[in-house]
Chains A and B, each alone.
Chain A
Amino acid sequence: MIVGFILLLVAVGTVAFHFLSPWWWTPIASNWGYIDDAIIITFWVTGAVFIGIIVFMAYCAFRYHHKRGGRAVYEPENKKMEVWLTVLTSVGVAVMLAPGLFVWNQFVTVPEDATEFEALGQQWQWSFRLPGKDGKLGTSDAQHISGENPFGLNPGDPNGKDDVLVLGDDLHLPINKPVKALLRSIDVLHDFYVPEFRAKMDLVPGAVTFFWFTPTRTGTFDVLCFELCGVGHHAMRGKVVVEEESAYQDWLNEQTTYAQSVAQSRSGAGVRVVLTDGEAEPAEGGSTD
């Protein structure tokens, strides 16, 4: 008896917790509402199965608990029932898988008009690189990394000269423009995640990984590292500021390009990065127009 009641309590308690929980996803700020929809579909299908099974077990506990002299029914198989259950389960799985694959196809297909930016991870800070006036990011390689070239840009690549470098500071993105995040790490695995964007991807040293999204809400959002990257993992934070196009352009124009930063460091006007410091700050006189 008590087992049946407790099972019902588990079922009711789980449903109640689900609907009363103050902990739920953050208001979305990207185009990936489809992902939220796929989660909701999965919730309904799996939730119904979970509650169904628990309630059925509770029923069995009430109805079929041992009674004096009572005997179980001997029934090794019931082919018809097993086939039906298999078919129904397969349908349920298909209902979840189909929308999942549909949205995954969108997730892996970057729109042609997406503009690129690069997130560079290192223990334990974020840096960002945006294309300059030519709209192209220059090529890079970890072999080129040095004090005056912390991103490892290829010095011979003209596309890289006007690349905008944001070292250990906030990333800005324009609203409603699809962006392709190119991800690069110079030491260990990291992961670029903004919960409000719903999309994330690992940074893998030795490779360039990517994902895309369209910011749909202005505001300042936390960037967190979502792949264990050492003892400072939890402190590897950044910020993304999503803003209107004009504000974005103003911000972009204030940033330093690769050519400028090389010139500065050679003239001794200031070294912008201290690679050994987890919280690199622009040194005195480091920023210019």
Chain B
Amino acid sequence: MASIGAEVAHVPPAEVAEVELYHPRSWITKYVFSQDAKVIAIQYSFTAIAIGIVALVLSWMMRLQLGFPNTFDFIEAADYYQFITMHGMIMVIYLLTALFLGGFGNYLIPLMVGARDMVFPYVNMLSYWVYLLAVIVLVASFFVPGGPTGAGWTLYPPQAILSGTPGSGGGILLMCVSLALFIVGFTMGGLNYVVTVLQARTRGMTLMRMPLTVWGIFVATILALLAFPALFVGAVMMTLDNVLGTSFFMPTIIEQGEKLGYEGGSPLLFQHLFWFFGHPEVYIVALPGFGIVSDLIATHARRNIFGYRMMVWAIVIIGGLSFVVWAHHMYVSGMNPWFGFFFATTTLIIAVPTAIKVYNWTLTLWKGSIHFTLPMLFAIAFIVTFVNGGITGLFLGNAVIDVPLSDTMFVVAHFHMVMGVAPILVIFGAIYHWYPLITGRMLNEWMGQFHFWVTFIGAYTIFLPLHYLGFLGVPRRYFEMGETSFIPESAATLNAFVSVVALIVGFAQLVFFFNMAWSVFKGKRAGRNPWGATTLEWQTPDLPPTHGNWGETTPVVYRWAYGYSIPGAERDFVPQNEPPDRVAALGN
């Protein structure tokens, strides 16, 4: 697959003639209602980061309350539960999912597979505008009477729609509407990503020559297309329970002494729907991260990714298994306890392909020629936090160990490490890596170094100790701990310390945002392919790539994406589209 001189003769030319792209004729169709995947990617990314900043601020508010209870009059119990709910929902759906798939997916898929654009540009444009509408509806819920929902990001009924929960009026209604819109928007984008990967690869770009970034986003999109409908159904049914008084999820309920009109529904049904979406969602966020980090490590260690085929199969197997593990979120939900045997087994089996990926990342560093650039630093930090968060998943996945730990701070620490900190570190690495492609300029190195060290060490310092509060039995989702007989005073001290670190890490993000804005104008000019990467996105005729990506003709691909440090080659990288005769000539 990788040997020099491999021909593409056995790969027939594309049989479908090129279809002329839609060309924008005005500023509005070029930059606002744009059908160019690269512009849509930027729109997705800006929107996701903007709403992500709201989630960041919410996390500061909740850390203030946890670190210094009884100090801030403006944070009441209802506010606190609204903060945690909106923080979680924004981070998981509106930031991470949108940024990885709508942002990186849109920018990188067409460029990396050698396509001119997504296959359905108009639908792709609609995808963004529906996503934006979903975000606006979400933000609107902050301003309705009663405020946004405080039901926890899991939105479990019955409490999500009962008056004992903050935002049980307009808040939960808008939340469900926003989620439904998000899913509609995502589906339009997601179909694009899948069909583009399957149908629009350039000549020679076989599936097993694709960069792992594309594999990760591709499989994650398939997961999302299969998983999000379960959430959609859940949101619609809960809205019917809420508005029309149906009883899908609502049994007979005596609320504060008063009998409500519901009868016969099942709260557990919602949990099954939610987690049938919710667990694959973890991998919808993780798989693009896996793919991107593979490419960052290979590029900056100047070494082929170790065990490429195993890496591809691991992504596919993890994706498949992610649909048969959902009820590990429900070991103590009151479902039939015999399910525990099945779901504990499937859950722990996922550890095997996941561990293989981790080994192969580290084995790519091994015998490499590692450049400790910012993308590489973030990639290494990702491995540390992902392994840490992954192994605590082995605690929670093992049914009986989950019994004492579920709904404690251990769970909070686990999922923040594994699907909060780790994917965000990948996103940072990816931004430092691809920023020069998108803007033509490098991000500032010193601001980047500051941002990296504070974020990595800080985030690890925040979440490592929280596991231990979980062992102690400190619950999650508690506005205040109050009096207990088993929590020592030192736990409060630890919480205060964690809050201070969290605020510092939050400040470092402001430096990053400043860097992003400043470097557009003042950053060092990047030049072509500054990292010496092999993948196609760096081989476009124009930098940054322009409308249509490839100028006159699309590239022809001769080899896999990991032609780094090939013995005999002149340079330590051979781009995927470099003709074999040229490589041979340079090498001799």
0/1 string, B321-348, CB within 8 A of A gives 1: 0000000000011100110110011001
Q: Which of A171-179, A202-210, A252-260 contacts B (4 or more CB under 8 A)?
A: A202-210
Chain A residues contacting B395 (CB-CB under 8 Å) are 39, 42, 46
Q: Give the distance to chain B from A103, nearest Cβ to Cβ, in Å.
A: 4
Is B355 an interface residue, CB under 8 A from the partner? yes
Do A202 and B391 touch across chains, with their CB atoms under 8 A apart?
no
Do B369 and A222 touch across chains, with their CB atoms under 8 A apart?
no
Q: Give the distance to chain A from B197, nearest Cβ to Cβ, in Å.
A: 22
Chain A residues contacting B275 (CB-CB under 8 Å) are none
Q: Give the distance to chain A from B356, nearest Cβ to Cβ, in Å.
A: 6
Is B137 an interface residue, CB under 8 A from the partner? no
Is B165 an interface residue, CB under 8 A from the partner? yes
Do B256 and A275 touch across chains, with their CB atoms under 8 A apart?
yes
Do B164 and A38 touch across chains, with their CB atoms under 8 A apart?
no
Do B486 and A187 touch across chains, with their CB atoms under 8 A apart?
no
Contact of A234 among B359, B384, B482, B565 (CB under 8 A): B482
Contact of B265 among A39, A123, A145, A206 (CB under 8 A): A206
Do B253 and A205 touch across chains, with their CB atoms under 8 A apart?
yes
Contact of A54 among B254, B310, B384 (CB under 8 A): B384
Contact of B488 among A22, A35, A50, A145 (CB under 8 A): A22
Chain A residues contacting B162 (CB-CB under 8 Å) are 187-188, 230
Greatest chain B CB density within 10 A among A104, A122, A143 is at A104
A275 with B344, Cβ < 8 A, contacts A96-B398, A196-B486, A202-B332 known: no
Is B233 an interface residue, CB under 8 A from the partner? no
Chain B residues contacting A46 (CB-CB under 8 Å) are 391-392, 394-395
Do B352 and A93 touch across chains, with their CB atoms under 8 A apart?
yes
A124 to B256, CA, bound (A): 9
Do A191 and B407 touch across chains, with their CB atoms under 8 A apart?
yes
A45 to B359, CA, bound (A): 16
Is A283 an interface residue, CB under 8 A from the partner? no
A189 to B161, CA, bound (A): 12
A32 to B403, CA, bound (A): 10
Contact of A66 among B302, B334, B377 (CB under 8 A): B302
Chain A residues contacting B306 (CB-CB under 8 Å) are 75-78
Q: Give the distance to chain A from B445, nearest Cβ to Cβ, in Å.
A: 15
A100 with B475, Cβ < 8 A, contacts A66-B371, A72-B369 known: no
Is B10 an interface residue, CB under 8 A from the partner? no
A141 to B77, CA, bound (A): 32
Chain B residues contacting A104 (CB-CB under 8 Å) are 337, 340-341, 344, 399-400
- 30 cross-chain CB contacts under 8 A: A3-B372, A10-B460, A38-B401, A53-B358, A64-B369, A66-B370, A71-B565, A72-B367, A72-B565, A74-B303, A74-B564, A76-B308, A82-B359, A100-B398, A101-B400, A104-B337, A107-B400, A108-B340, A123-B256, A147-B257, A204-B268, A205-B253, A220-B485, A228-B477, A229-B164, A231-B164, A231-B165, A231-B166, A232-B77, A276-B256
13 other contacts beyond A74-B566, A228-B81, with CB at 8 A cut-off? A42-B395, A49-B355, A50-B388, A64-B369, A66-B302, A72-B565, A82-B307, A123-B256, A145-B254, A189-B267, A196-B486, A201-B334, A275-B256
**B residues adjacent to A (C-beta < 8 A):** 1-2, 77-78, 81, 150-152, 156, 158-159, 162, 164-166, 251-257, 259, 264-268, 301-304, 306-310, 332-334, 337-338, 340-341, 344-345, 348-349, 351-352, 355-356, 358-360, 362-363, 365-372, 377, 380, 383-384, 387-388, 391-392, 394-395, 398-401, 403-404, 406-408, 457, 460, 464-465, 468-469, 471-473, 475, 477-482, 484-486, 488, 490-491, 494, 562, 564-567, 572
Nearest 5 Cβ contacts at the A-B interface? A206-B251, A195-B473, A275-B257, A230-B164, A209-B334
**A residues adjacent to B (C-beta < 8 A):** 3, 6-7, 10, 14, 17, 21-26, 32, 34-35, 38-39, 42, 45-47, 49-50, 53-54, 56-57, 60-61, 64-67, 70-78, 81-82, 85-86, 89-90, 93, 96-97, 100-101, 103-105, 107-108, 122-124, 141-143, 145, 147, 152, 183, 186-189, 191, 193, 195-196, 198-207, 209, 220-222, 224, 226-235, 237, 274-276
